[in-house]
Structure 1
Amino acid sequence: MSMKLPISLCMIVRDEEDMLSGCLASAEPYVSEIIVVDTGSRDETIPIAESYGAVVVRAEWEDDFSGARNRGLELAEQPWILVLDADERLLPCSEQVWERLLSPQQTTLGYYVTLSSLTGDVSQPAEIRDMVCRLFRNDPQIRFAGTIHEEAATSITAIAADGIGIAYCPIVIRHYGYLDEMVTRRDKITRNLRLIERALHLAPEDPVLRYAMGAESFAAGRMEQAVEWLAPLAAELEAELATELATECNGGLAAGCLVDGSADCSAESSADDGSAGSGYGSDLFLKLSHAYRQAGRLAEAVEWAKRGVRMYPDFPDLYEAAAAAHLTNGQPVEALFAYEEAIDVGTSPPYYTSAPGAGTYRAMYGAGLASEQVEQWVQAAAYYGRAIQLHSAYYPAWERLLQMASCNEPVWAAVEEALAHYSALLQGSGGVPDLKLLELLTDLPAEKATVLLLQLLPLTSAAEDTACSPRDMLAGGAALAAAGRWAAASDRFASAARASASDPLLARAAAFGLAASFAARSRAHAVAARNPAGERSASLPLLELEAELLVRLLIAIYQG
């Protein structure tokens, strides 16, 4: 940024020495002021915050997230406020976008930003996207509410005049706090359940708290308990919204103002406009359906997904929830129909909490699974191919497609088409094949693996040496690999693969050589991307060892 923006970054922290620096580094280039409310850190959190020029305020923790948040808002001096947690990162955004968002001509009081939460195992995380109001004007009337799962949108909507409210914007925040490692280490679920139970004791009929208890029970894997909390609330919400949702979408979260997007920025959009189920209704039905399915109550899972669809017909995740229950229940025809409905709906609108690929590549993958169960192999391959066309790194689709191709010749054309698309993407971007895909390819029979691996690497020079035997080409490739000359090695292995098609042993050796070469180049590419200044990654020796092991396997096959 050429200059700081008129924004105060407000945070609450406690014992965040592992995460805080990354968060502050992501936001510091944009904000003019950093305010950190520390609720009792015993590690290096405070010195880290102060090293970024933050104003640090020590406050007693009173089991109230809103109270701690509002303490920081009271100290902010800039006209706009951005709220982050230590386990979040503000992703880069252009200066032009920021200028439009904060322009004096803008009449909005706040903005919904995209919260991209990574979940599951850190090595292969899933992603959930939600819209949250984290950027808003510095106004004493705008404050957080809620002991837990606190939000400021309600207070913004309460003071908004006609045509002024909360708009959608392209800012993205990446959230790491729901990764399994983080959840286990911090025992977030236990803490959250304790806070919700305390709040429910004071307000037992509060629908937001009841939803929060059901959602936390779901996150804890207590599916029957989740059903007990969510099912009565869903029935109440269904009755309240029966008429209201005939004209409104998602209980007040209507598709509204997109700043720097495709929609006109004249309509107000709010997650909390006072209507029933504001901000959580669609997710309530989705979680309830999944809870029933995971509890083994499959008919009820389908029923509640369909009841949700009637109120939120543009929410593809609900169609997929019904499909998943049908598939678990051994009803592939019904599942296929539901997945096709999700595909017809397409990408989820921004006002829903949705999983990436819902209505697109994820639904196509599900349709492929359903097609396999009715032995429609070519149709299944077509669905997997469409999923890969939309998301070339969606490995569940690659895995099913390649497994089918290894024993089902009619689907081989779909594999070649998918790989041709992937290869064209690589050539267009100058990238290298992904390691996971290489692993999947080398699991195929040698002759098939070789054909596909060759498709990924056009020869870079006059690499063919017809004077050399395939064994000499393999030996030359192994020598080049041992010297770290992976590009040249891959050319030799490619030549060997072309020359040894009639010898299964040599073809397999060539395939492993190509895979090893690709692996080393892909690893180097990834390390370089992570270390643009040329720093050596601590994990690089291990990565080199993995590549060396592949080469040793190649040599063993060659010599055998």
Structure 2
Amino acid sequence: MMKKPVISLCMIVKNEADCLPRCLNSVKEIADEIIIVDTGSTDKTVQIAKNLGAQVIMVPWKGDFSYARNAGLNRAKGTWVLFLDADEELDQGDAVQLKTCAEHLEFEAFFLQIHNHSGETLDSITATVNPIIRMFRNRPEYRFQGYIHEQIVSSILERQPEAALHISSVKIHHYGYAGTVVAAKDKIQRNLQLLKKALRDSPDDPFHHYNIGVEYMRMNDWHAALKHHQKSLSLAPPETSYIHLLYKYIARSHFHLGNDAEAIETCDQGISLFSDYTDLYHLKGTVLLTSNRKQEAKEMFLVALQKGTAPLLYHTDAGNGTYLSAFALGQICEEMGDGRSAIHWYAEAIQFQPRWTAPLLRLIRVMKCANREHELAELLIERFLPLWKDTILLVVNALVEENCFFAASAVEGSLLKHGISAAEKDNIADGTSGMLPVIETDFTIKNALINGNTGEAFQILQPWLSKHTSSSDAPVQEAYRKSRILLSLADTHLHDMTLTSSQFFIYQRARYTLPSPHFEF
């Protein structure tokens, strides 16, 4: 006798040949059956799905996501239904945990943590994290509702008002709102049309107002977003799961519209109801900072760091309470002239998120401007080198861009000495060949600048410059050439001054504000 499936994966797709294999391969160890509803693919989606073991059902698209999803539910035989989109994948470290969840029949559904990425790969930085019900008991009375942003929870609670819903830490990675994906599929316009239709049918539905407000936010139409989110807040019952998010979005819209007082007031209202929601403290700090209320902003970011990442039941912007809050503190301390504290907070931000380059670039610049390059090399080697092993060339490159040649040489040398294979050594040697000017070259450049020979200085820099800029883009090259000369000139003056010199602070501030290089890990 064939064993009954435990987990049935149900999906709806159309022209998803590029991303479907990644999705299905991520669940092959936990999905006992795969049911895919295809709404009209013209690429190889259907063939790929069948090759990966899926049952494929052809259903014409009727402008109704619930209709399509329910067509898949009608075929599911598992105890549980897991639903994903083709541009998602299960985190491989959470497969066992998801199977364990399926053993707990005392629950009717599980919230999974949807990590919405800013890029199109797993190693791109997460933009937001949203807890959403994605696995639920397979019962004939549970069916999706809504043309778009279709929901299953309302169907569950209508039948079982006391149903136990569990918030898990299982992660699903979502790439569908990366910029190129949205542009290719024109998702925002599609969503708007469906949501407007839903609002015509149910003008007082708070969830529709919430969702259409989100789409207007994506379009930077903050007036429309504010209108719909305020309407949603006025209509939604107090126990609604996204109330906390409405306060954040209303405050954010006010902020973008220049209504700082209203934004702060909305944050305070939200905090009074959701005192553990980190995002509201971070957002309030951001508004205060742009209002030049630095000390108050600093206090808010410190509270956000103390709170840490928001609890699993909240939608959160990744970095609130961790690297974004630490970076903001670094910026405030830097602007207030407290370089030592700025260095501390930038280092904390790097520790929280090693793949985010902004705090690294500010850390390098602040320490360089304080004539602490030797300490910078020690800090990077002792604290962060293991975190950057696969991206060390970019770190070295960033140091070179800031004229930190000693630190760049030290970091490169330390990596070559410890814990890498011969092949990795060759790769680093190839990648840095001709990139690191020797210390003597640095002095030669500075000597040329001191004597007013900017042409000679540029000629010395040219071999490195030609390796890292496009020769076909003359305006970019000219701007880059000037920024390199300005950096070297500023460093020359700073190097020759004592920290107590009356002019040191002036040159230091000028050095802070010179153009920074742009890097992405």
Q: Do Structure 1 and Structure 2 share a fold, with TM-score over 0.5?
A: yes
Amino acid at match of 2:330: G
Distance 2:99 2:119 in 1: 36
Offset of residue 34 of structure 1:
1.3
2:417 aligned counterpart, secondary structure: coil
Aligned counterparts, 1:529-540, within 5 A: none
Could you tell which deviates more after superposition, 340-349 or 448-457? 448-457
Q: Match for residue 286 of structure 2?
A: 324
For 2:385, which of 402, 405, 423 is the aligned residue?
A: 423
Are 1:148 and 2:106 matched, yes or no? no
Structure 1 contact 446–507 (Cα < 8 Å) conserved:
no
Q: Match for residue 10 of structure 2?
A: 10
Offset of residue 506 of structure 1:
8.7
Q: Match for residue 203 of structure 2?
A: 204
Amino acid at match of 1:361: Y
2:337 aligned counterpart, secondary structure: coil
Structure 2 contact 323–348 (Cα < 8 Å) conserved:
yes
Aligned counterparts, 1:301-450, within 5 A: 301-409=263-371, 413=375, 416-425=378-387, 431-450=389-408
Cα distance per residue 1:297-330 (max 9 Å; x no partner): 2222222222211111111111111111122222
1:9 aligned counterpart, secondary structure: strand
Structure 2 contact 393–432 (Cα < 8 Å) conserved:
no
Aligned counterparts, 1:451-490, within 5 A: 452-454=410-412, 456-457=414-415, 459=417, 485-486=426-427
Distance 1:231 1:492 in 2: 58
Structure 2 contact 66–150 (Cα < 8 Å) conserved:
yes
Distance 1:174 1:385 in 2: 27
Could you tell which deviates more after superposition, 312-321 or 47-56? 47-56
Structure 2 contact 380–411 (Cα < 8 Å) conserved:
no
TM-score normalised by L of structure 2: 0.77
Q: Match for residue 167 of structure 1?
A: 166
Q: Match for residue 100 of structure 2?
A: 100
Could you tell which deviates more after superposition, 397-406 or 4-13? 4-13
Aligned counterparts, 1:211-226, within 5 A: 211-226=210-225
Distance 1:415 1:178 in 2: 38
1:31 aligned counterpart, secondary structure: coil
Amino acid at match of 1:167: H
Offset of residue 72 of structure 1:
0.6
Offset of residue 206 of structure 1:
0.9
Are 1:299 and 2:261 matched, yes or no? yes
| Percent identical residues | 28
Offset of residue 13 of structure 1:
1.1
Amino acid at match of 1:107: E
Offset of residue 42 of structure 1:
2.3
Cα distance per residue 1:14-53 (max 9 Å; x no partner): 1222222222222233222111111222222222222223
CA gap 1:290/1:419 in 2 versus in 1, 3 angstroms: farther
CA gap 1:334/1:26 in 2 versus in 1, 3 angstroms: same
CA gap 1:503/1:35 in 2 versus in 1, 3 angstroms: closer
Amino acid at match of 1:25: N
Distance 2:72 2:391 in 1: 47
CA gap 1:187/1:425 in 2 versus in 1, 3 angstroms: closer
Distance 1:24 1:381 in 2: 44
2:128 aligned counterpart, secondary structure: strand
CA gap 1:381/1:55 in 2 versus in 1, 3 angstroms: same
Q: Match for residue 129 of structure 1?
A: 129
Offset of residue 424 of structure 1:
4.7
CA gap 1:342/1:411 in 2 versus in 1, 3 angstroms: farther
Distance 2:77 2:205 in 1: 34
Offset of residue 370 of structure 1:
1.7
Offset of residue 175 of structure 1:
0.8
Amino acid at match of 2:241: G
Structure 2 contact 129–316 (Cα < 8 Å) conserved:
yes
Structure 2 contact 206–231 (Cα < 8 Å) conserved:
no
Structure 1 contact 378–411 (Cα < 8 Å) conserved:
no
CA gap 1:118/1:390 in 2 versus in 1, 3 angstroms: closer
Distance 1:236 1:173 in 2: 30
CA gap 1:337/1:488 in 2 versus in 1, 3 angstroms: closer
Distance 2:298 2:413 in 1: 33
Offset of residue 418 of structure 1:
4.6
CA gap 1:505/1:90 in 2 versus in 1, 3 angstroms: same
Offset of residue 402 of structure 1:
1.1
Structure 1 contact 113–169 (Cα < 8 Å) conserved:
yes
CA gap 1:194/1:423 in 2 versus in 1, 3 angstroms: same
Structure 2 contact 199–205 (Cα < 8 Å) conserved:
yes
Amino acid at match of 2:62: E
Q: Match for residue 188 of structure 1?
A: 187
Distance 2:120 2:91 in 1: 21
Amino acid at match of 2:130: D
Q: Match for residue 138 of structure 1?
A: 138
Distance 1:112 1:94 in 2: 13
Offset of residue 115 of structure 1:
0.9
CA gap 1:211/1:502 in 2 versus in 1, 3 angstroms: same
